[in-house]
Amino acid sequence: MVKLYGFSGSTCTRLVALICKEKDIPYELTSVNLAKGEQKNPSFVAVQPFGQVPYIDDDGFILYESRAIARYLIKKYPNQGSPLIPSDPKAEALFEQAASIETFNFTAFVSGIVAEKVFKPRRGLQPNEERVQELLASLKPKLDAYDLILSKQKYLAGDSVTLADLAHLAIWHCVFDSRPNLSRWWKDISSRPAWLAVKDGA
């Protein structure tokens, strides 16, 4: 069984849990209390030197960074659950293209919004609404491009769902969008049983 060390509500921990659900991989969550700073304890940092969640222990194999963990689990269990990463070289290249879009044209902006709208209130701080609006303005042309891509295909990498699509799930809620193709895509991926099982916590 995969041992997942993280915080149930964290976006990155939920991504790993989501992939476990998609691939029918049993996992055991060991809770790391971010509010108490447990991720900065010496024993944790000895394993995850950046003091961030999550990391996994897969029968002694330690791995951190949620996207790396997701790729590892998908490739280790290719015949379980949904494929999520294509094996054909061209299809895999299109997946990598979509994964880069998610990382650099979406999450790079939305993570700042999450920090302001989610994490600051949890610490009793006021969100910087001006900063949120700046980030949303920067995100607008990115979402225009998303809608264009999704007007031509069902998912970001083609007509099969991949990790590139699923990586949006835990933070998309901070972005309200009514573009028709984006709305269709979001309704599709957010109704997947694996996501419904972890959306409120890993």
* CATH number of residue 143's parent domain: 1.20.1050.10
Q: Are 97 and 184 contained in the same domain?
A: yes
Say what the pLDDT of residue 164 is: 98
Q: Are 49 and 97 contained in the same domain?
A: no
- Classify each residue of 173-198 as buried b or exposed e, where b means 16 or more C-beta atoms within 10 Å of its C-beta: bbbeeebebbeebbeebeebebbeeb
Q: Are 100 and 177 contained in the same domain?
A: yes
Taking the whole predicted model, whether its pTM rises above 0.95 is answered as: no
Going by the DSSP 8-state scheme, the letter that residue 158 receives in this structure is: B
Say what the pLDDT of residue 124 is: 87
Residue 117 forms part of a structural domain? yes
Q: Are 106 and 177 contained in the same domain?
A: yes
Peptide bond before 54: cis, by omega within 30 degrees of 0? yes
Q: Are 103 and 188 contained in the same domain?
A: yes
Q: Look at residue 64 and give its three-state secondary structure.
A: strand
Q: Are 69 and 101 contained in the same domain?
A: no
Q: Are 93 and 154 contained in the same domain?
A: yes
Residue 94 forms part of a structural domain? yes
Spatial distance between the Cα atoms of 77 and 75, rounded to a whole number of angstroms = 5
pLDDT tens track, the chain, 202 positions? 999 999 999 999 999 999 999 999 999 999 999 989 999 999 999 999 999 999 999 999 999 999 999 999 999 999 999 999 999 999 999 999 999 999 999 999 899 988 888 888 878 889 999 999 999 999 999 999 999 999 999 999 999 999 999 999 988 877 767 899 999 999 999 999 999 999 999 9
Whether 106 and 112 have beta carbons less than 8 Å apart is answered as no
For the chain, how many structural domains are there in total? 2
Other C-beta atoms lying within 10 Å of the C-beta of residue 108: 14
> For position 12, which CATH number holds?
3.40.30.10
Backbone angles phi, psi at 162, to 5 degrees: -135, 175
Q: Are 31 and 58 contained in the same domain?
A: yes
Whether 51 and 35 have beta carbons less than 8 Å apart is answered as no
Residue 119 forms part of a structural domain? yes
* Two tokens, residue 173: 């809620």
Catalogue the long-range contacts made by 186-189 (C-beta closer than 8 Å, 24 or more residues apart): 188/154, 188/161, 189/155, 189/161, 189/165
43, 76, 109 - which closes a domain: 76
Which residues have a Cβ under 8 Å from the Cβ of 167 and sit 6 or more positions away?
15, 67, 70, 99, 102, 103, 107
Spatial distance between the Cα atoms of 137 and 76, rounded to a whole number of angstroms = 39
Q: Are 130 and 173 contained in the same domain?
A: yes
Say what the pLDDT of residue 118 is: 81
Domain that holds residue 124: 89-192
76, 99, 132 - which closes a domain: 76
54, 76, 98 - which closes a domain: 76
- Closest C-alpha among 100, 116, 123, 130 to residue 34: 123
Q: Are 94 and 62 contained in the same domain?
A: no
Q: Are 72 and 94 contained in the same domain?
A: no
Q: Are 58 and 96 contained in the same domain?
A: no
